[in-house]
């Protein structure tokens, strides 16, 4: 069996064989490196904006795993994603 992910904007589809998935993880509210801020502080061209001024974006649900030596993350930047259901299905099939 395999899992298939689709990126709608680019009409790009990727598939992963379930028996080759390793180190499967499910995470909620994962903090991203992307943020907005009320201002920006730079010293000699280096961004030193204090964390208290940053408003980070949080990914609601992410499933991550290793696949043929690559780290794969599914669910980033998605507004709707049933990560827990997919995670449980993959776990059941692989056991």
> What is the residue-averaged pLDDT of the chain?
82
- The residue segments making up the domain with residue 12 are 2-94
User: Residue 77 corresponds to which tokens in the numbers above?
Assistant: 């930047």
Residue 79 binned pLDDT confidence (cut-offs 50, 70, 90): confident
Report pLDDT digits (tens) over 28-73: 888 888 878 877 778 888 878 787 778 888 888 999 999 999 999 8
How far is residue 5's CA from residue 23's CA, in Å, rounded to a whole number? Answer: 18
CB 89 within 8 A of CB 26: no
Examine the pLDDT at 1 and tell me if it is beyond 70.
Answer: no
For the purposes of burial, counting CB atoms within 10 Å of the CB of 38, is it exposed (0-12), middle (13-18) or buried (19 or more)? exposed
pLDDT at 4: 60
Examine the pLDDT at 23 and tell me if it is beyond 90.
Answer: yes
What is the number of domains present in the chain? 1
pTM of the model: 0.67
């Amino acid at each position: 069996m395999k899992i298939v992910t689709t990126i709608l904007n680019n009409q790009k589809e990727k598939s992963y064989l379930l028996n080759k998935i390793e180190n499967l993880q499910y995470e909620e509210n994962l903090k991203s490196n992307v943020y907005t801020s009320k201002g920006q502080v730079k010293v000699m061209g280096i961004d030193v904006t204090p964390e208290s001024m940053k408003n980070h974006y949080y990914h609601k649900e992410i499933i991550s795993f290793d696949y043929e030596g690559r780290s794969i993350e599914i669910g980033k930047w998605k507004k709707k994603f049933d990560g827990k259901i997919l995670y449980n299905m993959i776990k059941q099939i692989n056991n």
